[in-house]
Structure 1
């Protein structure tokens, strides 16, 4: 009799385990978790380009003046100029002693705007 009960207990244990895992996964996907922040609002303070026959005039290169990311609590008022090291070909990084909290900007890359 014990030989016939052992497989039945295994089936019951597997069934209970499967139901527990299924219920846990369903609860995770039910939306009862923390609310995500709203999407950031993106705007521009740039003036519209003058009418040049459908083609905008080329703008001079510009430099970033800071970086603000509200959702991450970032409000940097300074950007560090970064260049590629000619010997290694690697992009430099901000100095850890003086500019650890300042974002860097690759000066040879695309300009902001």
Structure 2
């Protein structure tokens, strides 16, 4: 019975834990940054942990049942409002948009595109 409870607790807590990625790393490190040097260092730390950069973060990856924000603008406002260095604000905005904006639907292929080759 004890093993069952421990297993259930681990499964439950793993549902609440959000896997880290490049965007979440940036949003952890950049808020409050006041200069270029600190901003560059924060970005380098995240790049060393997640070499794929933002390209490795699926669009809308932060959305879901326990999402912190409804969209990227809410995230940007909350995370960047006390950050003085505008370069850091831009990077945080990109991370927020990647995490919390809805993925755009892929355009349907045109029937005649198959004959263009």
TM-score range (shorter-chain normalised) is under 0.3
TM-score normalized by the length of structure 1:
0.21
Which structure shows the bigger proportion of residues in strand conformation? 1
- TM-score, normalised to structure 2's length? 0.21
Which of 1 and 2 has greater Rg? Answer: 1
Q: Which has the higher helix share?
A: 2
